[in-house]
Amino acid sequence: MFEFIGLLVVVVWLLKVAHTVPGVCSRRRSLPKTLGDKLVITGATDGIGRAYADLAAKNGIPILVLVGRNQEKLDAVKREVETKTTTVRTVQADFDSADLTKTAGFEELKRELSTAESLINCAGVSYPGAMYYEEVGVPFLDTLIRVNLMSTMIAAHLAYKGMRARGKGLLVFMGSASSLVAEPLLVGYAGTKGAIDGLGRSLQAECVSTEFGIQIQVPFMVTTKMSKIRKPSLLVPSADAYARAGLRAACHASNRTVNDSMRATICPYWSHQVILNVCQRLPRYLWEQFRLSEQKVLRKKYMAKVTKATTTA
Ligand SMILES: NC(=O)c1ccc[n+]([C@@H]2O[C@H](COP(=O)([O-])OP(=O)(O)OC[C@H]3O[C@@H](n4cnc5c(N)ncnc54)[C@H](OP(=O)(O)O)[C@@H]3O)[C@@H](O)[C@H]2O)c1
């Protein structure tokens, strides 16, 4: 037992040092080399996507294309991140559409993605609160599939063709640790994230021996409007801290010949990797019981909020 705890402390320390020393990866691979000349980010108007946009612009990516559903938010992010060395363009596209190809922004999205040298897919939605699977309406399951899964599949499809023709590119998908470890009361969300993991890993297998980076990033909690957590902590990084770690991880995937030893699924933030290691070694039922009891508390709070809102309406 003491040996295990000692080992855990050493592992935590080593991971922390390796992932927090600035430029550990960028010394070997500069950002422009990682992302190429043109990066497209979906879900760029908030949270992790917005943080990635900020970081890419600060590092002088020549062309940055922000994709989001709300033009006002897109314009605000554009104003904030645009620099002398970075040209920022925006594409308005609502991914919660029955047929994305028939929506107003689709042709523009297609045009921008056809010449993208890298794509970071951050658009996503989760449950408004913890719920049992039977409590989730079918229309909302549809939304989860459209925004989390279909948008990722379509954006990757549109970028993939050009990247394959040029023989290089980088695709980063935002999965979630909920697809690797069970996530009760967020079942539909975890299901879409599991599919993204399958999509990315299979694409990587298709690209073996090419210089094509494909990465599925699987974070635990990050302080964004999705997680509803405001204060960063050791286990819950801010979106900026996450994006810094995420970009370092993306360095490892880009511009390398894809081979058998490369892992497509990555947990970039050091303390998330530690949680993942620990819960993958625990007896499964322990983690599942722990999450179930946590989620039941959250459900209770959420249900109380819903009841209050319906009685005051
Ligand atoms: N935060 C976490 O704890 C966490 C953990 C694991 C995985 N992730 C994943 O990380 C990604 C980013 O999440 P986040 O935490 O940054 O969430 P967030 O702050 O809520 O941002 C989500 C982004 O997706 C956009 N979006 C939502 N619905 C859309 C639609 N119908 N069409 C187009 N864009 C839409 C949002 O646009 P608006 O600005 O208009 O709302 C926003 O830009 C997601 O895929 C999420 O599943 C997050």
| pLDDT tens figures, 49-105 | 999 999 999 999 999 999 999 999 999 999 999 998 899 999 999 999 999 999 999
Residue 96 beta carbon below 6 angstroms from any ligand 1 atom: yes
What pLDDT is stored for residue 122 in this prediction?
A: 98
**Is 64 a member of any domain?**
yes
> Which amino acid would we find at residue 249?
A
89 or 27, which is more confident = 89
Quickly state the pLDDT bin for 257 (edges 50, 70, 90). low
What pLDDT is stored for residue 27 in this prediction?
A: 43
Q: Whose CA is nearest to atom 11 of ligand 1?
A: 122
Across 109-118, 201-210, 275-284, the highest mean pLDDT is recorded for 109-118
**Is 268 a member of any domain?**
yes
What pLDDT is stored for residue 79 in this prediction?
A: 97
What pLDDT is stored for residue 13 in this prediction?
A: 61
Centroid of ligand 1 to alpha carbon of 301 (angstroms): 22
CATH assignment of the domain containing 66: 3.40.50.720
**Is 79 a member of any domain?**
yes
Q: Which residues pair with 265 in a beta bridge?
A: 216
**Is 134 a member of any domain?**
yes
What pLDDT is stored for residue 24 in this prediction?
A: 43
- pLDDT exceeds 60 at position 141: yes
Question: Tokens in use for 284?
Answer: 């499964």
Residue 69 beta carbon below 6 angstroms from any ligand 1 atom: yes
Is the separation of the CB atoms in 170 and 264 below 8 Å?
A: no
**Is 15 a member of any domain?**
no
What pLDDT is stored for residue 251 in this prediction?
A: 78
DSSP readout, 51-80? HHHHHHHHTT-SEEEEEES-HHHHHHHHHH
Q: How far apart are CA 215 and CA 109, in angstroms?
A: 21
**Is 298 a member of any domain?**
yes
What pLDDT is stored for residue 31 in this prediction?
A: 64
Domain span including residue 281: 30-312
Instruction: Give the phi and the psi of residue 120 in degrees, each rounded to 5.
Output: -115, 115
Instruction: Give the phi and the psi of residue 183 in degrees, each rounded to 5.
Output: -130, 80
pLDDT digits (tens, 9 = 90+) for 16-25: 555 444 344 4
Question: Tokens in use for 220?
Answer: 């635990």
Pocket test for ligand 1, best of 45, 100, 226 (most atoms within 8 A of CB): 226
Residue 146 beta carbon below 6 angstroms from any ligand 1 atom: no
**Total domain count, the chain:** 1
